[in-house]
Structure 1
């Protein structure tokens, strides 16, 4: 699998370095490079890109502003972002626009490869979930990998009862496990990689496994000892599921 990338940086040396790193990484494909975010935005509007290596401080349109524009687009194929910047004060803002990672200049190829491998794992999981939806995935592939501390942990999908947002992390609650797994990712990421026929977001802070619902009372879903509210924004889709369940 090749990940389609673009690099955006107004500093020529930094742009060339990132481009070189991309080209020497076997699972990355450099589709284009830009020295300003406005040109990059025009390209993104016309071409399908998986991953953007994006500097933050640029004239006219900053990398953070470009990221906000990309994050606001209603598309299932929005490119993911790895920020490359000399300023560490933007880390929190990076999480707000759902950045995949944050490389602080000057960074080594080892650091670049670590962030890129994280992206590769994400797109591989996404591809596997697409195979599940198309009925081509085997039982052995019915899983995802999550970053837990300094390792990737394999999680079987049928063991997940629900996923809960927790600051910059998610808590993944598992069947027959007293304590949830804490992973550094967002609920939005989890919503993208979990198969929609099995998992549903019912609240800004919760995704549930529909197979693990024990009972429903008013706008509350009961899964084991957990009571999870269905918020107003997600009520219609949940009611549609319930109507199918009852017929």
Structure 2
């Protein structure tokens, strides 16, 4: 199991009354670049005194120890306190350990791979939680325009084309015509470029309503509309992008 570089060091202490077990854990810690061992203790009371004065991120803690067990020591640590990984030869304390919200419970003899898994859990607990990604809002399906004395809803699917008439726009739809006091610039901000295209200073067409293109003109709704020189190249590229064969 490979470990990536950690964003910061994780300080830890090792507590075990067995010298051999202490040496094994110290050796394991030395092989993990982001672990910073601040102390090794054979005596649980000495370790508790150290931890009361020196906060650390992680405690590797044996359970069966004289004078003060690992379970008792864990309950004496400040809250919120360090992450705890129990290291023991006995599986009878597993349920009790999880009641104390320990990060992991390792049974001796501890394989290095299993040790790394537990350390990875600790490391993950210190990583910042990514902010939830907001779901993109679905694109609008219609717009409202001023028409006579009301706001008229115009569904994008119904639009055939729009004709500019000085300060007015005449919107041709499958339902009829709508005259509104509006500018092309404002309408183009609302209509999506993948569905509508300006072909002339006076005309904007719905791409899905185009019947055919011929000799510099576009037929929409049975009417031939001119393609202006300014828009000819961009419109040709748009047609090619829409699966021209």
Give the TM-score normalised by the residue count of structure 1.
Answer: 0.50
Please give the residue correspondences for 1:192-203 in structure 2 after superposition, counting only pairs within 5 Å: none
2:95 is the alignment partner of 1:92? yes
2:51 is the alignment partner of 1:48? no
2:60 is the alignment partner of 1:57? no
Tell me what 2:26 maps to. 19
In structure 1, the gaps of 5 or more residues are 130-140, 143-155, 160-247
Aligned CA distance change for structure 1 residues 88 and 59 (closer, same or farther; 3 Å)? same
Tell me what 2:121 maps to. 118
- Runs of 4+ with >4 A deviation: none
Higher helix proportion, which one?
Answer: 1
Distance 2:48 2:98 in 1: 20
Tell me what 2:200 maps to. none
For residue 27 of structure 1, report the CA deviation from its aligned partner. 1.6
Distance 1:83 1:121 in 2: 18
Please give the residue correspondences for 1:205-244 in structure 2 after superposition, counting only pairs within 5 Å: none
2:32 is the alignment partner of 1:29? no
Equivalent position SS for 1:87 = coil
Distance 2:75 2:133 in 1: 31
Root mean square deviation of aligned Cα: 1.6
Aligned length: 128
Please give the residue correspondences for 1:109-188 in structure 2 after superposition, counting only pairs within 5 Å: 109-124=112-127, 128=128, 141-142=130-131, 156=132
Equivalent position SS for 1:92 = helix
